Amino acid sequence: MTDTNLDTTRPHVARIYDYYLGGKDNFEVDRDAVVAVEAAMPEVRQLALENRAFLRRAVSHMTAAGIRQFIDIGAGLPTAGNTHEVAQTLAPGARVVYVDNDPIVLSHGRALLATNADTTVVTADLRDPADVVGRPEVRKLIDFSQPVGVLLIAMTHFLRDDERDEVMGELRRSLAPGSHLATTHVTVDQHSAEAVEGVEAVYRQTPTPIFFRTHDEIARFFDGFDLLDPGLVTVDAWRPDPADPAPEATRWLYGGVGRRR
């Protein structure tokens, strides 16, 4: 399920997220969507920043654990502190594949990464994980007989309940034991139903509706993985790093890192 044409008539999650982070690779329809999200969730830009901080900490942990190849699915538009920058700073030669279904990500990402032979960008969709892991461009950099670090940062909440087991099971089966999975997911826990519905209503206008879930529902995305300490927690509580401080916690996101059995 891959977008091959650039549709500027509907907001797209990659461009919405780019605008959350202060980027410029978005359109008026995306900016209007963000205004509507902010009406329901005023701290959404802060949420995006703490989500990025979690990504950096998760990649740092994986690199320290010996992971040298990464797939960032739903990567969005390149921005500062991205996966390859963190991994390749800590482990020169680490290989990174970015995956997204928005063609603007492909064009911008390839331009920015043209001189980086250890990093590439692929247009594909999480909903078809067999296609993601089977792409020649992916196989060129990723050896699936060895542990892989998979990042699904703010991505699993775009899967429907009836998609979860098939998508996550196929992805898990492609990974060697010792592989790591990091994900963040928006939650209904301790938040008003009105705010949740307000955000979900905006994302229903996009090709990828969003689904807020409880802690226990989110934990199911880690089936087949052993959660590393401190488990599935709000992202501010996952191994905070004083050297890389995150913004004040919004507690809208749960995050965790699991190790493939």
**What is the full DSSP assignment across 160-229?**
-HHHHHHHHHHHHHTSPTT-EEEEEEEB-TTS-HHHHHHHHHHHTTSSS----B-HHHHHGGGTTEEEPT
pLDDT of residue 101: 87
pLDDT band at residue 80 under the 50/70/90 scheme: low
pLDDT of residue 102: 82
pLDDT of residue 81: 78
pLDDT of residue 3: 42
The answer to whether residue 112 scores a pLDDT higher than 80 is: no
The answer to whether residue 109 scores a pLDDT higher than 90 is: no
pLDDT of residue 2: 42
pLDDT tens, residue by residue, 4-51: 456 788 998 989 999 999 988 899 999 999 999 999 999 999 999 999
pTM here is 0.93
- Mean pLDDT across the chain: 93
Task: Tell me the average pLDDT across 213-223.
Answer: 98
Q: Are the beta carbons of 113 and 121 closer than 8 angstroms?
A: yes
pLDDT band at residue 223 under the 50/70/90 scheme: very high
Task: Tell me the average pLDDT across 249-256.
Answer: 98
Structure tokens at 223: 């089936």
The answer to whether residue 175 scores a pLDDT higher than 70 is: yes
d(CA 123, CA 109): 11
Task: Tell me the average pLDDT across 173-198.
Answer: 98
pLDDT of residue 1: 40
**Which one of 1.10.3720.10, 3.40.50.300, 3.40.50.150, 1.20.58.110 gives the CATH number of domain 45-192+210-260?**
3.40.50.150
